[in-house]
Amino acid sequence: MKVIVLGAGLIGKTIASDLSNQYEVCCADFNPEALKELSEKNIKTQQCDFSNHAELSKTIEPYDLVIGAVPGYMGFSVIKTIINAGKNTVDISFFPENPLALDKLAKEKGVTAVVDCGVAPGLCNLIAGYHNATSKLSFYECLVGGLPTVREWPYEYKAVFSPIDVIEEYTRPARYVENGKLVTREALSDSEYINFDDIGTLEAFNTDGLRTLADTMPYVENMKEKTLRFPGHIELMKVLRETGFFDKNEIEFNGTKISPLAFTSKLLFPKWKLNRGQEDFTIMRVKVKNENGEFVYTLNDKYDKLNNVTSMARTTAYTCTAVADLVLKGNYSKKGISPPEFVGADEKCFKEVIQYLKKRKVELNTNINYN
C-alpha cells in the first residue's frame, strides 16, 4: 500500500516517519527545505504546490491513501481536491469550513474521508464517539493544551503546530452547547484556572474546538472545548487581538499596503519557534457522561528525547496514523466524511487506536464512576 503525506511540518514529518515502518510513503511539500530531513531518512519526497489543483491531483494519483497535514487556511480546498480525485484520506488540518459540507461529494466518489484526526480535535472525539455508542452522551468537556516544558518570557509558549493555526484559535468565534442550546462566544473568553497534577495551574479559555460534535451529537445538553495555556497568556493575546495585530485585511502604512497579521506573524513566529531539542508536553482531560456513568480520560504526554519528537507531534501524528492504518487495512471503510467520533463508535476501531497509541507510549489514564 502506498501513502502520500501532504505537508512536511513538525507533524507531517512524524506521520511520514511512523507510516514508513509499514508502508511505502512519500511526503510532499512546496518548500524543498522542509523535505530535506525526510530525504536524509530515505523517505521519498516530492515538491508540490497544493494550491494548484491540477498539480495536486497528478501528485496524489499513484497513492492508495492521502494524509492531509497542511495549514488550516488551505485545508478545505486540499481535501476537496483529494475527494474529487477519488482518493481515501485522513486529515488533520484545522480549517474553518464545516467538513460535513463535503459529505455528499465523498459519498458520490466512494471515498472514505476521516477529518479532524489529530489529538484535539481527534482523539477526544474518538472517546466521545465510543461512549456515545453505548449510551447517548449528556455531557462532554475537553481541556487541552500543548506547552513548552521550560517557560520563557514574554509568551511562555511555543507553537507546537502551525503557528498561523494557533492565531486562528485566538480569533475564530468559539461554539459550545449549554443547556441544549448552541452558544457562540469570542475566542479567549470565559477564562478559568484549572490545576493539574505534576503540572500545576493552567488557564483555560474558549476556542472553536468543538468542531463536528455540535452537528453529529445535537442531543448532548452540554458540550465544551477549552484550550490550556500558562497563566497570563490570555491577556497578552487579547491585547494583540484588540489592537488589530491579528487582522487579515490590509492597511496602508507610509504608502505601502500591509496585512497586520502578516506583520505580526513575521515578528511573533521566531519567538514561538520550538527549536530542535527544546522539550514540550501535551495535557488533555476529556470528561463524558451518559446513563452508564462518568468517564474521565487524562493524557499527560512528554517530549520523546530518544527520537527527538515533540509531544504534540507524537499525540497528533500517531492518532492520525492509527486511523490511517485502520483505513489502509480495510478495518474502517465508511464512505463519506467521517469525523473521528464515527470511527470511535466502532468499538473494535476505538480499541485498536488506543493500543496503537500505547505501543508508541501515548497512554490515557482513565477514571470511571459507574452509575
Residue 192's pLDDT is 96
Average pLDDT over every residue of 137-159: 94
pLDDT digits (tens, 9 = 90+) for 309-332: 999 999 999 999 999 999 999 999
Residue 258 DSSP SS3: strand
Residue 74's pLDDT is 94
pLDDT digits (tens, 9 = 90+) for 224-279: 999 999 999 999 999 999 999 999 999 998 999 999 999 998 899 899 988 878 89
Calpha distance 332→342 (Å, rounded): 10
Calpha distance 299→34 (Å, rounded): 29
Residue 276's pLDDT is 79
- For the chain, the structural domain boundaries read 2-117+312-361, 123-311
Per cent of the chain over pLDDT 90 is 88
Nearest to 4 by CA among 72, 92, 89: 89
Residue carrying C-alpha cell 469525523:
339
Distances (CA, A) of 267 to 31, 162, 305: 21, 15, 29
Mean predicted lDDT score pLDDT of the chain: 95
Q: What are phi and psi of 123, to 5 degrees?
A: -60, -40
- The verdict on pTM exceeding 0.85 is yes
Instruction: State yes or no: pLDDT of 8 exceeds 90.
Output: yes
List b or e across 272-294, with b for residues whose CB sees 16 or more CB atoms inside 10 angstroms: bebeeeebbbbbbbbbbbbeeee
Q: Which residue has the higher pLDDT, 336 or 40?
A: 336
Average pLDDT over every residue of 291-310: 95
pLDDT digits (tens, 9 = 90+) for 196-234: 988 999 999 999 989 999 999 999 999 999 999 999 999
Residue 126's pLDDT is 98
Instruction: State yes or no: pLDDT of 162 exceeds 80.
Output: no
The CATH code that applies to domain 123-311 is 3.30.360.10
Containing 367, the helix (H) or strand (E) segment is: strand 364-370
Q: Does domain 2-117+312-361 have CATH number 3.40.50.720?
A: yes
Band (pLDDT 50/70/90 cuts) for residue 354 is very high
| Biggest alpha carbon–alpha carbon distance for the chain | 67
Distances (CA, A) of 83 to 103, 111, 282: 10, 6, 32
pLDDT digits (tens, 9 = 90+) for 172-198: 999 999 999 999 999 999 999 999 988
Residue carrying C-alpha cell 486562528:
168
Average pLDDT over every residue of 64-89: 96
Residue 198's pLDDT is 87
Residue carrying C-alpha cell 492521502:
66
Instruction: State yes or no: pLDDT of 161 exceeds 80.
Output: no
